[in-house]
A and B are shown apart, each in its own frame.
Chain A
Amino acid sequence: MLLVATYSREARTSLRNACRSHESAVRRQFGRAALLAETEFGAFLALRLREKHGADVQIEHTSPLNEYAAVPEEIREAATAYADRDQPSTPYAKFATGTDHPDPTTMRDREL
């Protein structure tokens, strides 16, 4: 999908108007951002906004994440284990210490 985020009042107003007028091209709208359909028309709406508001409009191409294809197993396992932890107040860094789970610094430095 196309993520359109706006960074000025004028751009935000234009985005809201575009979303209101072209509901079928809008997958989701959040405040000053929206996910548009990945169609030529969605791209047309997004580019029209960027043409009008320049760098106050950010356009990203998004796709759903398939963690089984894109995320290493140890990261998935760490997420599952941390979500299941006994002490809700334990920060992840402490949780990972002394286990096989990766530490957060290592994860931050590794690109997906």
Chain B
Amino acid sequence: MRVSGEEAADGDRAIDLRGAPISLDTVRAAIQRNHPTVRTEYPEPTRWWPTLGIPRDDAAPLDRLVAAARSRGQYPPAERALAAAQRELREITVERVDTDGTRRRLADAGSEVERLREEVATARGRLQSRQEMGADTAEAEAALDDAVRRLSEAETERVAAEQAHDAAQRRARETRAARERRLRLQDRVANRRRDTRHALAASVEDAFAAAVDALPGEATFSIDPLGVEGDEVTAALAAARIADLRAPVIDTTRRFESASAGAEALDAPVVRL
């Protein structure tokens, strides 16, 4: 299938497909070499194209700016520190310790001992009163013996449960050092990521301002606090203009009079949709 719209004077650089029976999804897939039948003759896009190739207000302007800086090959020192922290974080292993079972066992063993202590006291009381009455004590004696035996078993179980619980607690304590280290690294990764974004965005500060000047609408980038203010579509167009995308920008913004005006303002090939 060969798609041709109203091609502008400069042909390959700007093409207006608004009248053509073709959807945004199809064009996007074709540009990304993902479409089963539709092909384009444009070079394959860089990996930043999915983020930046369709300027809209659907992503945070700062994310677009950071992606644009990356597409220009920016690699701030903070990024190296980020990679190092991420590597260290990946290398940390934290042993899984589940102390739930031993806690439950210990609690159960404790209440069983309490229950049997009462049972022994009751059985002893019954035996005593039968002795005082001069009644037959054989059955009461057997019941007491039985209760005493079960109490002794329960006490043994409680000791075993205590030991198992202590051992599990000790293991849990030992893994906490590793967990603490992991938490520190997680924080470091988050901080270095913030530094990296900061440095990347700052590296295209001037280019962004110049790009906004060449485009309709207003947007300003500020370093402290880090952020992009103003028209998000303008900011997205500016990010696309400063980025290295290789493939054309799909322009759906209606901000330009024609596809070729868009191509000129964006300093890139444009497919208008």
Contacts and interface: CB of A to CB of B under 8 A. Distances in A.
Given A7-B179, A7-B180, A8-B179, A55 B96 contact: yes
A12 B186 CA distance: 12
A32 interface: yes
B190 A9 contact: yes
Contacts of B175: 55
Given A55-B97, A55-B98, A55-B172, A9 B183 contact: yes
A9 B191 CA distance: 13
B186 A56 contact: no
Interface residues of A, number: 10
Contacts of B183: 6-9, 12, 32
Contacts of A6: 183
Interface size of B as a range: 10 to 19
Interface centre among B179, B182, B186 (most CB of A within 10 A): B179
Interface string B149-184: 000000000000000000000001001100110110
Interface string A87-98: 000000000000
Contacts of A9: 183, 186-187, 190
A7 B183 CA distance: 6
Interface string B180-220: 10110011001000000000000000000000000000000
Q: Which of B175, B182, B183 has the most chain A CB atoms inside 10 A of its CB? A: B183
Interface of A: 6-9, 12, 32, 54-56, 58
15 contacts: A7-B180, A7-B182, A7-B183, A8-B179, A8-B182, A8-B183, A9-B183, A9-B187, A32-B183, A54-B98, A55-B97, A55-B172, A55-B175, A55-B179, A58-B176
Given A55-B99, A58-B172, A58-B176, 9 more contacts: A6-B183, A7-B180, A7-B182, A7-B183, A8-B183, A9-B190, A55-B96, A55-B175, A56-B179
